[in-house]
Each structure stands twice: as C-alpha cells, then as structure tokens.
Amino acid sequence: MTHIALAGGALLILIGVWGMLTKKNIIRIIIGFSLFDTGLHVVLVGLGHLKNRTAPIIDSDLPREAAASRVVDPVPQAIVLTAIVIGLAVTAVLLAFALKLYQSRKTLDISELREGNND
C-alpha cells in the first residue's frame, strides 16, 4: 500500500509539474498545480500509513490501551486536512485570477499574458 501510494503520489507530482511547465493554457496549468498538490497529499497520507493498522478513532473495537499498536499515525492525517484546504484556497484564488485575466485579454495562453516586453 505505502509503496503504491508513495509512487503514485510522486507520479502525480511529476505529472503536475510537467503540466505546469509545458501547458500553454492557464487553466491547464492550474490543473497541473492541482495535480501537483494532490500528489503531495497522497504522499503525505501514504507516508503516515503503517502496515495492517487502522484509523486512529477510539471506539468499541479499538480500546485506548491497544490503540498505540493498532492505529496509523494521526499526524499526517491531520496535516493533510489542513493542506487540502490550503490547496483549495490557492486553487480558488488562482482560478479567480484566471477568470480576470481571461476577461482582460480574452486569451488563456500564458505566453501572451505578460505586460509588454517586460521592462
């Protein structure tokens, strides 16, 4: 499981970066960013996973005393929650930018979205 998650996460990250580096359309670039972000989250969770363990929620099946040896690491799970929300916020703002940029220049081509010859 862990290996698959980690490899998959890494692959997602690389694909995301590839998209950010090569796609012309800013929506696609943002999608690339999203992939990159998602890949990170996958890696995060994957890294916290321990073999044959369960979610860290104490209930009747999982008494407190045994918890430490039967649950996965709760920290990455907590972190990923935060990371996801942050990623969401960033993506939302990026999309808002994309919207505005499109409105002002009627194009989504990133190479055309720059001011003058930059000086």
Partner 1 sequence: MINPILIIAIALGTAFSLGLLKKLGRELSFAITLIALAAMAFISAQWLSAFLTYNMLGPVVTTAGGRAPFVIVLQMGHMEALFTLLINVMGVMGAFYLHDRLTENGNGAMAVLLAGIMGLNGIILTGDIFNLFVFLEIASIATAGLVLLVTDFKSLTAGFKYMLASGLISGLFLLGIIFLYNTTGTLNIRELLIAVPGTIKAGSVASFLVMMAILLEMKPFPANGWGIDLYSGAPAGVSALIASASATAAYFVLIKLLPLGGTVAYKIAAAVGITTFVASNLVALSQRSATKLLGYSSIGQMGLVVGIYGLNYHLGSKAFLIIFSLLGTHYLAKAGLFWLSGIVQSTEIDKWSALRKSPVLFVLFGIFVFALMGFPPFPSFFGKWELIMGLVASKLYWWAGAILLGTMFEGIYLFRWFSRALKLDNQELAKPRSTIYTFVPPLVFAILLFPAGYYTSTYTGGIGIMGFAPLLFIMLIGFLDFLPAYIKNILSIAGVAAYSWYLWPHVQGNTFKIVFAGIFMGGALLALFAGFYRRGKHLGFYPTTLLMFLGLGILVDASNLMELFYGWELMTIGSYFLLIRGERSLPHGYSYLLFSLGGSLAMMFGFGLAHASAGTIELSALNHIHVLPALAYSLMLVGFMTKTASLGFHIWLPGAHGEAVADIHFMASAVLLKAGVFGIILVLSGMGNSEPYARNILLVLGWIGALTALIGNIGAAFQESAKYLLAWSSIGQLGYIVFGLATMTHLGWLAAYGYTITHFLYKGILFLIIGGIAFRVGTADMYKMGGLIKRMPFSFLAVLISIITLAGIPPLVGFTGKWIFYNMIVSEHMFYQGLVVIISGIVAFLYLFRLIHVIFLGQLKDKNRRVKEVYPWLLIPAYAMLIGVMVLSMFPNTLLGPLGRMLSTAFPKGALHWDGYTASTAYGTFNMPIIMAVIGSTFAVVFLWLLLANRRAVKVKQFNIFYSGEAPSRPELTHFGYNFFAHYKKAVGFMAVPLVTRFWDQVSEGLHALAGYGRAIYTGNAQSYLFHIVGFVVAIYLITMGGLS
Partner 2 sequence: MVKKAFAFTLILGMGLLFYQLYRQRSTSTDLNKTARYYVENGPKETGSANVVTSVVVTYRGLDTLGEVTILFVAASIIGFFLKNQRNRKLEGAPGETSELLHTGSVFLVPLIFLLGVYVFVNGHLSPGGGFQGGAIIASGTVLLFLADPSIGAGRGVIHVLESFSGMLYVGLAVAGLFLAGGFLDNRIMPLGHFGTLLSAGAIPVIYSLIGLKVGAELSSILYALKDAKE
Q: Which is nearer to partner 1, 21 or 60 (CB)?
A: 21
Q: Under a CB-based contact definition with an 8 Å cutoff, are residues 41 and 84 in contact?
A: yes
CB of 51 to partner 2, least distance (A): 6
Task: List the beta bridge partners of residue 25.
Answer: 109
DSSP 8-state assignment for residue 116: T
Neighbouring residues of 76: CB distance < 8 A, sequence distance ≥ 6? 44, 45, 47, 48
> What does 58 bind: partner 1, partner 2, none (CB cut-off 5 to 8 Å by kind)?
partner 2
- Identified binder of partner 1 from the candidate list 1, 7, 58, 86, rule CB under 8 A: 86
DSSP state of 110: G
Site of interaction with partner 1 (CB under 8 A): 13, 17, 20-21, 26, 29, 33, 36-37, 40, 43-44, 47, 75-76, 79, 82-83, 86, 89-90, 93-94, 97-98, 100-101, 104-105, 110-111, 113-119
